Amino acid sequence: MKLAIKAAIFAFACAALAAQAQDRVIRIGVAMPISGPGSYFGVMGKEGIDLALEQFKGGVNGYRLQVQYEDSACSPLQATNAVKRILDQFKPHVVVGDECSDASLAIAPILEQAKVVQLNAGSVTMKLTESGYKYVFRIFPNAEQQGPPLARNAYDKLKARNAVLLYEKTNAGQDSADGFEKFFVAAGGKIVARIDFGRDLNDFTSIATRIASLGKVDVLPTFALEGQTVRLAQALAQAKVIRGGGGNAIQMGSIWLPYGFDQKAGQAAEGYIRIVQFDPTEKRAIVQDFIKAFRAKYGADRVPTHINSHAYDSILLIAEAVRRGATDSESIRERFSRFKDVEVTTGRITFGPNGQNSDLSVIHFVETQKDLSWKGLDW
């Protein structure tokens, strides 16, 4: 009898411990495109997240990090369905995503209503953090953080006076183009043409021909996905518009383009100037450790991109919040709000009152050289 009672007490204690262990989980939903033209974001993002999870497999502050992925396909409708599914089935404390601005905007009100933190590491649209959401946090520089430096340096350093804006027909493309135009025109520059295009456009010969007929063009700020930017650069080079084709105009870009774009575009990429936030040649220990771990896991010949590193940083930040005592969505939100100078691979994180990271200290400009390597510009 005594043995039976002891066994019952023991079993009860085990069950209680197991229940407690089950409770000590931080559930992270991830909404990223795994299909469709933006799916390379999802693949690279997953690589970064999986690497970070490996490093936290022992848990943080007694909490296990658990992730569930859902495909948003970069589409507002699919992203909405994906997030609803995550909320219903997984009940996350925080959702990482989306990469595409349109999808991020679609899921923001849903997560706001559910009081679940949305940690965004890839969208550029101003609307995400200017719409009054309390649960949205973004580590990726927004359109007005990228556009003005591009515009200012185009005008001051490159002495550009005429620009043609090239952008995809999405919130991200539109906001990025608007951000550039506002500051370039204010500085005294002129926008000769604004050319937008859908994500399904493949042949840019007509666009390049049109630009070639516009007369003097100094810079071509371009805001599009990698595949289209490659084809666009090649068409512009063939039209002898840009430096890579023997022309005079300089193509400029934002953080959108992953490392490896130059190799794909070939000589057309020569002279391309862009903002980067993740630079694999950066000497900070956290960056070099990340690259080492990335290569150990995914292959010695792989070079991580900003997409890998932003996703990796998302988990670092969540882990940091948990380390500081966060246990649920509300406390994660509260810890995020108080982050100041938290170091990650893509720089330092200090969230402003609207949830936007305000620290742009590691952002810098690079220029693609003839041998397709990057040269840092001290702008």
Site residues (CB under 8 A) for another protein?
A: 34-37, 39-40, 42-44, 169, 195-198, 200-203, 205-210, 212-213, 226-228, 230-231, 234, 238-240, 263-264, 266
Residue 2, H or E segment: helix 2-23
Nearest to another protein of 307, 318 (CB atom): 307
Helices (H), 157-305: 171-187, 205-212, 226-238, 261-265, 285-298
Residues 6+ apart with CB under 8 A from 13: none
Yes or no: say if 29 and 70 are a contact pair by the CB < 8 Å rule.
yes
CB 231, min distance to another protein, A: 6
CB 148, min distance to another protein, A: 25
CB 202, min distance to another protein, A: 4
Nearest to another protein of 135, 167 (CB atom): 167
Nearest to another protein of 20, 35 (CB atom): 35
Radius of gyration of the chain (CA): 23
Please report where in the chains the tokens 């990271």 appear, as a residue.
Answer: 357
CA angle 211, 215, 218 (to 5 degrees): 80
Q: 241, exposed or middle or buried, with CB in 10 Å at 0-12, 13-18, 19+? A: buried
CB 228, min distance to another protein, A: 6
Residues 6+ apart with CB under 8 A from 265: 229, 230, 233, 234, 244, 272
CB 264, min distance to another protein, A: 4
CB 229, min distance to another protein, A: 10
* Distance of alpha carbon 80 from alpha carbon 36, whole angstroms: 16
Nearest to another protein of 125, 357 (CB atom): 125
Nearest to another protein of 269, 317 (CB atom): 269
Count CA atoms closer than 13 A to 266's CA, side-chain side.
8
Nearest to another protein of 66, 267 (CB atom): 267
